[in-house]
Amino acid sequence: HPLVLFDAEVPGQIEAVRRIGEEILAVCAEVGGALTGEHGIGIEKRDLMPLVFSPDDLAMMRRLKEAFDPRGLCNPSKVFPTPGACVDVERRAQRNLVVGW
């Protein structure tokens, strides 16, 4: 768990810390490491999954999740990276919450 200290009041520091975190995780992946350990992939690391998993791996994971959660009620928009489709995923998740219950 890298801990990068910063002052949120200084303009640009939050973005810099995010960038530093992504660079650290990219190096971890390059040398055969994992993006995460016991806590699993969260929102912060979700979009970095392609550093470790192939498109086929991610597609299989998505299909497995959909088999157990066909309406997308469990952690909507939080499990897999969806480049260019974040807004659509959010709308679909909200619609499923309303229709699903």
What digits encode the pLDDT tens for the residues 46-94? 889 999 999 999 999 999 999 999 998 988 877 777 765 444 445 555 5
Cα–Cα distance, 14 to 48 (Å, whole number): 18
pLDDT at 85: 47
Q: Where are the domains of the chain?
A: 34-100
Distances (CA, A) of 6 to 10, 14, 16, 28, 97: 8, 7, 9, 22, 37
